[in-house]
Structure 1
Amino acid sequence: MPRFLLAATLLLLFVLEGTLVQVFLPDKWGLSLMTVPRFALVGTILVSMFLGRREGLYYGLALGFLQDVLYGQVIGLYMITMMVASYFAGLIVLLFQRGFGMVFVTCSLILFAHEWLLYSLHLLLTKAPVDVQWMLNWQILPTVVLNMLSALVIYSPIKRLCESVMFKRDLPLE
């Protein structure tokens, strides 16, 4: 049951980033900042930090494929980048303790690397390149900040769900 709740929570984060949150983004209010909510990616990064890189890889694969099918122009782009981001988050956590500060710093670095990798792959696959300085200042950094704020909000629930998955014991009914 805890594993089902974890998967349902990540799926809920995926649905929220594509529906309800779109109303509150700065570009809808006329600001020139472009933010892209990646709550499901933040969730998979946190899962891979708490449950291991293989678990994060699987969730990154599934949610990245959903992202590609529903929103992407190229099938496989988000799937690969979310898998890589989740896997490296699980690798980094092997070197350090899982304190809140380390999780916060690692999550922000992984989110930045994910956005940069997405930009690089889009630049490679599309004809019209976007200026690097504009992309960094007006999309990548605001996106990382928005997603780090969401990481602060979902850190505790995801941690509790991951702990319940780790420590689940099947007790016989009496």
Structure 2
Amino acid sequence: MRYFILSFIALVFFVFESIFAQMFAGDAFGADKILVPHFMMIFVFFLTMYGSRKMGMLYGAILGLTYDVVYTEILGIYMFLLPFLAYLISKSMKILQNNILIACLTALLFTAVLEVVIFQMNIILSFADMGFGEFAERRLIPTLLLNLAFIIISCYPLKRMIEKLDLQGETE
């Protein structure tokens, strides 16, 4: 039952991310700013931090493949990047203190890493033609602010929900 609940919550985040992107596309926050919600990725990060590394990497791969198929031109980038970042988060949380503030900052840091890696892949494949300064001003900072607001709103409920599902019993 807990896997059904976890899968349903992942689906809700996946759909909510798409709805949010459609509602606030365009001129909602300024014509030159690009807001990219990464709610599903933040869910995977919190699942890895408060659940298990195995579940975080598994959900990262499945949701990453789904995200690639539905939204991106580069098939496989999210599918490989999300489990890799989930693995790095699990390793970093063994070093860092596991409190809610550190978890929020870690999720924000790895969201920034995700954005920068995706941008660099788009530059390499000639899908983007802006410089890093322009990318940081137009996309990275607004995206991080949006996702920081989402992290602040959802961190405690996500933590409680994942801990309640008791995924720590899974083999690492």
Shift of 1:128: 4.7
| Structure 1 residues 107 and 168: CA distance shift in structure 2, 3 A | closer
What does 1:8-157 correspond to in 2, within 5 Å? 8-25=8-25, 27-29=26-28, 31=30, 32-126=32-126, 128-157=128-157
Structure 1 vs Structure 2 CA RMSD: 2.0
Shift of 1:168: 9.4
For 1:148, the aligned partner's letter is: L
* Equivalent pair of 2:51/2:167 in contact (CA under 8 Å): no
For 2:28, the aligned partner's letter is: W
CA distance in 2, matches of 1:65, 1:75: 8
| Poorly superposed stretches of 4+, deviation over 3 Å | none
For 1:58, the aligned partner's letter is: L
| More divergent stretch after superposition (135-144 vs 80-89) | 80-89
Give SS of 1:83's match.
helix
Shift of 1:85: 2.0
For the pair shown, which has the larger CA radius of gyration, 1 or 2? Answer: 1
1:56-86 Cα offsets, whole Å, 9 max, x none, are 1111101111111101102101212222222
Unaligned runs of 5+ in 1: 170-174
* Equivalent pair of 1:33/1:142 in contact (CA under 8 Å): yes
CA distance in 2, matches of 1:143, 1:81: 18
* Equivalent pair of 1:43/1:154 in contact (CA under 8 Å): no
CA distance in 1, matches of 2:64, 2:132: 24
**Percent identity for Structure 1 against Structure 2:** 24
Shift of 1:52: 2.6
Give SS of 1:14's match.
helix
| Structure 1 residues 77 and 167: CA distance shift in structure 2, 3 A | closer
* Equivalent pair of 2:20/2:37 in contact (CA under 8 Å): no
CA distance in 1, matches of 2:14, 2:41: 8
* Equivalent pair of 1:57/1:87 in contact (CA under 8 Å): yes
Q: TM-score, normalised by structure 1?
A: 0.88
CA distance in 1, matches of 2:101, 2:64: 26
Give SS of 1:106's match.
helix
Give SS of 1:19's match.
helix
Unaligned runs of 5+ in 2: none
* Equivalent pair of 2:51/2:166 in contact (CA under 8 Å): yes
Q: TM-score, normalised by structure 2?
A: 0.89
State the number of aligned residues.
168
